[in-house]
Amino acid sequence: MDAKGFVVPPDGGSVLSLAPGRAAALKLLGGETGESIMLFEETAPAGTDTTFHLTVTATRWRTC
């Protein structure tokens, strides 16, 4: 297996505007990781409820 690595800088990734004061930066996409992982970073104002959770199955995991 050939390993391939890359770095996503702190300000890297496509940014999606979700709501006033909320945004998500797409750090890793499935196509970049052989469909093994997708990762995003969400920014929300202090006190905002978010729906973060971890789902684990035999073939995938995600946080959102």
- Cα dihedral across residues 31, 32, 36, 39: positive or negative: negative
28's CB contacts (< 8 A; 6+ apart) are: 8, 37, 38, 39
With a cut of 80, say whether residue 4 has pLDDT above it.
Answer: no
pLDDT digits (tens, 9 = 90+) for 29-62: 888 777 777 788 888 888 887 776 565 654 554 5
Say what the pTM is: 0.61
Reduced to 3 states (helix: H, G, I; strand: E, B; else coil), residue 32 is: helix
- Output the six-digit token pair for 36: 């093994």
